[in-house]
Amino acid sequence: MDSPARTPPPSPGTLGDVLVDWFAEAARDLPWRRPDTDPWAVLVSEVMLQQTPVARVEPVWRDWMARWPTPAALAAASPAEVIRAWAKLGYPRRALRLRETAVALTERHGGVVPADVAALEALPGIGTYTARAVACFGHGRPQPVVDTNVRRVVARLVHGRAEAAPARAADLTDVAALAPADPGRAVRFSVAVMELGALVCVARTPRCTACPVRTNCAWRLAGCPAPEGPPRRVQKFAGTDRQVRGRLLDVLRGAEGPVAAPQLHEAWADAAQRSRCLDSLLADGLVEQTADGRFTLPTG
């Protein structure tokens, strides 16, 4: 008696379609994903979301888009206004880079965000990930968009590894192979796989029972092997230069004019660390020193 035929595993394209259908039901309602969101708003969201959680980004993004709805509007703002509006998102150099991008868009592209990846990458502060994300999510052009979450999903689903290896050129090929053939669904796939990594296929405690492609996941089929090598150290924040820089900027944001050095002393007790962080803020263009030795946010 012949044995029953085995059902072949789904093709990569089929897995992509499964993720698109899952995303239609499970996606978070984020304002920069709505149909009326223009490419500039998508670009701003992508820069803000770098190393910053969605919950912290959303209110700041809404304020920015109400205040500076176009590249030309942001380009006309002063660096000090931009740094103040950045609030506590962290890594405030991104605020100045966004303003530099807005100036470049206004001067080179007539205030319009281009759809071409190469043109986007030529803008100040825009890397490969952000360029592809804006082309895909802002302009609706199918692109493999690879961030940390996507690399982790592909590592598990395709390669059977608990964690992603260091970034490599083949990541784009791996993601492109999973995407549906239909261009519109390919665009939605790019955000769907990112959402899966953010909500389900998370780093430490993946929610495998909620995963729409769990039966085809190479990592699960291999018995969920543990990560190779020693566990990664969790980056602390308390007491770091990042915290000190933020404290110093908080003082300057709340001041109506230049601040004397003794006022900054109150922000952090360790004089050596405070001095080092102030020097780094000056070097990054986030702080300026006046002729009389006081400190202020950049004026132009």
Residues assigned a catalytic role: 46
Burial class from Cβ neighbours inside 10 Å (0-12, 13-18, 19+) for residue 187 reads buried
Cβ atoms of 26 and 199 within 8 Å: the answer is yes
Half-sphere exposure of 25 (CA within 13 A, CB side): 7
Query: Closest Cα partner for 119 from 106, 135, 103, 107?
Result: 135
Cβ atoms of 71 and 40 within 8 Å: the answer is yes
Query: In sequence order, what are the beta bridge partners of 295?
Result: 259, 289
Distances in Å between the Cα of 47 and the Cα atoms of 30, 43, 124, 130 are 15, 6, 12, 7
From start to end of the chain, where are the E strands?
Answer: 288-289, 295-296
Query: In sequence order, what are the beta bridge partners of 259?
Result: 295
For residues 216 and 60, give the distance between their C-alpha atoms in angstroms, rounded to a whole number.
39
Query: Closest Cα partner for 189 from 6, 16, 38, 71?
Result: 16
Query: Closest Cα partner for 159 from 131, 178, 185?
Result: 178
For residues 99 and 112, give the distance between their C-alpha atoms in angstroms, rounded to a whole number.
14
